[in-house]
Every structure is written in C-alpha cells, then in structure tokens.
Chain A
C-alpha cells in the first residue's frame, strides 16, 4: 500500500512536470502541443488527488494525511532529481511505476 501511495504521487508529479514547458522539453526534447500539456496537467493533479485515497485507507484520516504529505514530498524529490540528472526516462518511469504500484497493491 505504501508503494501504491508513492507510485501514484510519483506518476502524478511526473505528469505535472510534463505539463510544464521547460520540463516537457527536457523529457521529450521537443515541446508537446498545448492540448497534450493540458491533458498532462489534468492527469497529474488527478493522480496526486488519487494518491490520497490509499493513504487514508492505510492509515486512517488524520495519520493518512500526514503520511500522504510525506509521500508527496518523497515523490516530488524523486521527480526533481530525475529531471536534473536523467530527464528522459521519466516518460517510461512514471507510468511504469504507477502500474507496478497498482499491481503490487492488487496482488499482495
């Protein structure tokens, strides 16, 4: 469950950074069109919101929110570091981690 929280937050931040001009350029090498960036930002925010659900489920309301903020923090650092040192893999990593997170929560 912990991993699912992290995974959706990570994918969410990953999508959010793709909605930003500078970072999208870093990841894709070219600027995606405005519609795609809008889409990325919607998906990003939605995923961030979604990551709250497993946190609440796992830890209950009050602790869940605290834990969720902690995971958001961790995920944002991960995305930030990737953008700095290895921006291109983000396009595969973000969805990949999300799928892994969902699978692990589902199977375990």
Chain B
C-alpha cells in the first residue's frame, strides 16, 4: 500500500501541483481577470448606474429583443450589459428566449464550460458576469468544432455551445459612476488558469482532459492509500514537528492532507465526475443514442419545459407592436435586494424593452442550495412595475441530478459567497502544500540511500529537477504571466496568446535552470526570483495603469486590492522559504534536517534542502 502511495504520488505529483494551484486560483478567476484589465480599475461605485445602464442600452440596443444587465457586485465593480438583437431566423428567436431563461445559472456561474477555441484565442472568452469582458462582437460560429463541443468539454457542464447561445449578443462594459463605456484590453485572464486546470494547454482538448482525468484518478488512489498508510490518523492529528528532517516533511504532508481530507476527497471525486462524460461517454451515448446534446440538456435540468418565464414573456411580446416607456427599475431592484439580502441580484433581464409587453426579471446571484442550480427569480411588468406571478419553477431536480449538482457546485464554488470562496481557496492551498511536501518527502526519505551510494542516482537527480521546476518554477511562471499582462501592449493582437506564451516560456526556462544548477542553489534562486516578481506586482500594477494599493484599499475596487495583497503575501512566503533554505545547515551526525515552512505560508511549500 505504501509503495502504491509513494509511486502514484511521485508520478502525478508534478502535474497535480499545477492543477491544484491553477484550480485554486480559478475560484478567483473573475477577480484575476479584473486585475488583468487595468482599464476597469478606475470604475467607481455610483448610485445611479441603473438608469444610466438603461439609457445606454436604449441608445445602443434599441430594437433589441432582450437586454441583460449585470449589476456591480462583490465580484465586479463594473456594470456588464448585453443585448440580444432580434434574429430573424426560424426558431432562432424562440431558442434565444429559452436560453435566456436558463441563462441565469449560466451567467451567474463563476465556472464555465470549456470555451470554444475562438474564445480562447480572443483571449478572455468568458461571458456575462465576468466584469472584465469588454465589448465583444458576436463570435463567429465555427462549424468545425461543433463536434468537440458536443463532447465532454461542454457536456461536462451540461451546456449548449456558447456560440449558439450567444448568437446576436453584443456586450458592453459600463462604469457605474459615469455611465461611460469602458474598453478593457483583451486578456487570457483568469480563464486561462481555469481552463488549464482541467484541460491543460497546447494540445487537443480531449487529450488534455484525458491526462487530467488520469491524474485525478491517480490522486484518488493516492488519497485512499494515503489514509490507509497513515496509521496514527487521530493520534497525530495536530502533530507537526519542525526542523526534524524527514520527520517534519512527513508531519507536514500528513497534516495538510488530513486536515482538509474532506475537501480533497470531494474535489477529486467531483473532478472525476465532471470529466466523466469525456472519460466514459458510453453509458450516456447508449441511453441517448449518441445524442450528447440531449444528455447534457437533461443533465442540467433544461429541456424546453423548464424554460418558463423568459420564454412565455418572449412569446407574449413577439407579435406586439407599439412603444412604451419602461418603469423606473430602481424600486424593483431594491425590492429584489430586500428579498435576497445575502446573495444580491445576479442579473436583470428586460424582455421586449420599449414595448407595452416588456417584462423585467431579476435573478438571484447565487443559489441558496447546492442541489438546485440557480437561485430565485422575480418577474415584473415592465410598463407598470408591478410584480407578476413568479415564473413557474423549473422541475425540482431528480435525486440523481441533485447529487450531481451538489458535487459540481462544490467543485466550482458556484454558490460561494466571498467567505466560503476563501475557505475553498485555503483548502486548495493546503492541497498544493500537501502535494509539494509529498514530492520533497520522496527525496528526503531517500537521503540515506544516497549517502550509502555515495553518489546521486540519475533518477534522483531527475526528481530534483522536476521538483524545483514544478513547484518553484510554477510560482515564477504565474508571476511572469501577470507581468506579461502589463508588458504586452494593450493594443497588441492576440494578447491572450502572448500572455500564455510568456507563462509557458518562463516555466520551461525554470526547468532548464533547475537542470544546470545545484539542487539547493536552484531552490533558493527560483524561490527568490518568484518572491521578487510577486512582491513587485502591486508596484507594477500601480505603474501600468491599474489602481495602486493605496487607492484600491481606500475606495476600491477591492477585488484589485485583494489581488495585490495576496501577491504580497505569496511573495513574502516565497521569500521566507528561500531564506530558510539558504540558511539551512544539514545536521551533521543525524538525519539531515529539512525545514517545513510554517504551515500558513500560502503559495509555497517547504523546501527541500537535502541533496547537494
């Protein structure tokens, strides 16, 4: 059992560390994208954004079938606007309406399906709630990837292809205080990190998902065997003995593993579940005769019967003529906020604006339960502002679907208010520390073997290089990604791709560096480099057009302040670890002393000091 744990851990650890880190950061991908679009940082809160937004929509989207407004909220300081132009296409309109009714969950969900290639290429690729999406034209439909779309990537979230949903949709970003349209730079943003964590990059998406799926499966094996191998799980629950070499690494590995064991189990299992349609499509294919679209629709509880309000409203207005002014939406918005004090309003949808048949729908930002997707909604008459009967609720989820929803929602943190989101993130950091300490432990526990041999076996050297590059190198690459965001000119074409290129180029170099330097030197240098890059990020942000810390901490956007503070914290932690490694002196007579970082250190694991 121990053997299985050791070797599965070693084989998948390097990649899994990257998956855990990028996956953990995905909990904040909207905030990361916001940081990477400094053009949006100047947006200030304003009281009258709602009339301004409606004015802007009336100007740009006159004659549109539907307007959607994403209010500024805890995850975004700006107002997102989109309008759907009438599509004179058989069935198109109806479908659009239906989608809009379902759209809520999709919009308000932080995690989204694999974006299609177009989106990836254009950089930011995420829609809706994402504060950061600038004006974006309707995406060109590329029939070429229709098939992949129907495959696991999309299906795993149970969605239709975004292109279809977004047919005829135009997006704007508005400053809530001035009401002016903002034009943020294109960026790969947090979405790159998010996509990387389940489908990697630079290869066919299917391959990426298979690799991540295999690694996740091994992770599951490692968790189960780890629990079995760890005999004193309760006795050693709180135990951490620093500066005792291998003992400390083992303690650190155990503590980070056991303390957040529920998180690891759930996240691994739900990760597998999310990839299941890709890895094992046969059951669904058999039941749905290969129609993955139908399967995914049923999975998300969609289907035509579950698309109540928007559709009905749409129909109602479809053949309506006449003009009418919209009621003042501010009291309605306040009413919705009173109804959902904790969650707030995720978006406001106006159907058939400008007509007497206009309806206004307020949709709750986060679901209250994990078992059902999406939250509450309120429907108003657009002309009078009276509340209408709430849209018929979608079918209550079946047990199967409820279970699926729970796992998916926990994995994606879709329900999460900021506090819970941070808890999930901390659990993710602990997971990353567990993996990193496990990797270092592999070397630490073979120290005697090396001493007996008197030389460094080639395999051990390989593990050393991989450890440095995969752990410290990833930190440098992440920092480099953020630096690249500010150094690539805002107007450059394909900015997103260039940022990603920067990430991988730097990450590759860290492996090369680790290969040519002695082990301890490599750790110290890379940790110090990563620390410097992270510590300077807030300054870089202030100097290249973003809201500097002094401003963002005083009057927002606090998402940016949070990013900068987190960067300082990670940088500080890296510096601390680098310092400890640098000054580490192996104990001569006894086993060498490794030094686990203080458990709280965020970005980085303890450092391996032994060899060389």
Proximity bits, B197-239, A CB within 8 Å = 1, else 0: 0000000000000000000000000000000000000010111
Cβ-closest chain B residue relative to A62: B370
Q: Does A76 contact B (CB under 8 A)?
A: yes
A16 to B241, CA, bound (A): 19
Please report which residues of chain A, range 59-75, place their CB below 8 angstroms from some CB of chain B when the two chains form the complex.
59-63, 66-67, 69-71, 73-74
Cβ-closest chain B residue relative to A26: B238
**In the complex the two chains form, is A2's CB within 8 Å of B419's CB?**
yes
Residues of B within 8 A of A66 (CB): 370, 410, 415, 420
Segment at the A interface, from B136-144, B255-263, B481-489, B510-518: B255-263
**Interface SS of chain B: helix, strand, loop or mixed?**
loop
Cβ-closest chain B residue relative to A82: B238
A70 to B417, CA, bound (A): 13
Known A-B contacts A17-B238, A81-B599, A85-B598; the reply to A63 vs B369 at CB < 8 A is yes
**In the complex the two chains form, is B420's CB within 8 Å of A70's CB?**
yes
Q: Does A23 contact B (CB under 8 A)?
A: yes
**In the complex the two chains form, is A69's CB within 8 Å of B240's CB?**
no
B254 to chain A, nearest CB (A): 10
Residues of A within 8 A of B255 (CB): 77, 80
Q: Does A48 contact B (CB under 8 A)?
A: no
Residues of B within 8 A of A63 (CB): 368-370, 415-416, 420
Known A-B contacts A17-B238, A66-B420; the reply to A81 vs B600 at CB < 8 A is yes
- The contact size tier of chain B is 20 to 34
Q: Does B467 contact A (CB under 8 A)?
A: no
**In the complex the two chains form, is A79's CB within 8 Å of B426's CB?**
no
**In the complex the two chains form, is A73's CB within 8 Å of B420's CB?**
no
Q: Does B124 contact A (CB under 8 A)?
A: no
Residues of A within 8 A of B426 (CB): 70, 73-74
- The contact size tier of chain A is 20 to 34
Which residue from A23, A60, A62 sits with its C-beta under 8 Å from B238? Answer: A23
Q: Does A36 contact B (CB under 8 A)?
A: no
Residues of B within 8 A of A70 (CB): 263, 420, 423-424, 426-427
B201 to chain A, nearest CB (A): 29
**In the complex the two chains form, is B259's CB within 8 Å of A76's CB?**
yes
**In the complex the two chains form, is B263's CB within 8 Å of A69's CB?**
yes
Please report which residues of chain B, range 367-382, place their CB below 8 angstroms from some CB of chain A when the two chains form the complex.
368-371
Residues of B within 8 A of A84 (CB): 240-242, 599
Proximity bits, A76-95, B CB within 8 Å = 1, else 0: 11011101110000000000
A79 to B440, CA, bound (A): 25
A74 to chain B, nearest CB (A): 6
Known A-B contacts A2-B419, A67-B423, A69-B263; the reply to A77 vs B369 at CB < 8 A is no
**In the complex the two chains form, is A77's CB within 8 Å of B235's CB?**
no
Which residue from A22, A59, A67, A73 sits with its C-beta under 8 Å from B260? Answer: A73
Please report which residues of chain B, range 416-433, place their CB below 8 angstroms from some CB of chain A when the two chains form the complex.
416, 419-420, 423-424, 426-427, 430
Residues of B within 8 A of A31 (CB): none
**In the complex the two chains form, is B238's CB within 8 Å of A76's CB?**
yes
Residues of A within 8 A of B181 (CB): none
A88 to B595, CA, bound (A): 23
Q: Does A20 contact B (CB under 8 A)?
A: yes
Q: Does B498 contact A (CB under 8 A)?
A: no
**In the complex the two chains form, is B259's CB within 8 Å of A60's CB?**
no
Which residue from A17, A20, A71, A77 sits with its C-beta under 8 Å from B430? Answer: A77
A42 to chain B, nearest CB (A): 16
A84 to B371, CA, bound (A): 40
Please report which residues of chain B, range 251-286, place their CB below 8 angstroms from some CB of chain A when the two chains form the complex.
255, 259-260, 262-263
- Nearest 7 A/B pairs, CB to CB: A70-B423, A62-B370, A80-B238, A84-B240, A69-B262, A76-B259, A67-B420
Given A73-B259, A73-B423, A84-B599, 14 more pairs with CB closer than 8 A: A20-B238, A62-B406, A63-B420, A66-B410, A67-B419, A69-B262, A70-B263, A71-B423, A73-B430, A74-B423, A79-B238, A80-B239, A80-B259, A84-B241
12 pairs of residues in contact across A and B, judged by CB atoms under 8 Å: A20-B235, A60-B368, A60-B369, A66-B415, A70-B427, A73-B262, A76-B238, A77-B259, A77-B600, A79-B238, A83-B239, A84-B599
Q: Which residues of A contact B (CB under 8 A)?
A: 2, 13, 16-17, 20, 22-23, 59-63, 66-67, 69-71, 73-74, 76-77, 79-81, 83-85
Q: Which residues of B contact A (CB under 8 A)?
A: 235, 237-242, 255, 259-260, 262-263, 368-371, 406, 410, 415-416, 419-420, 423-424, 426-427, 430, 598-600
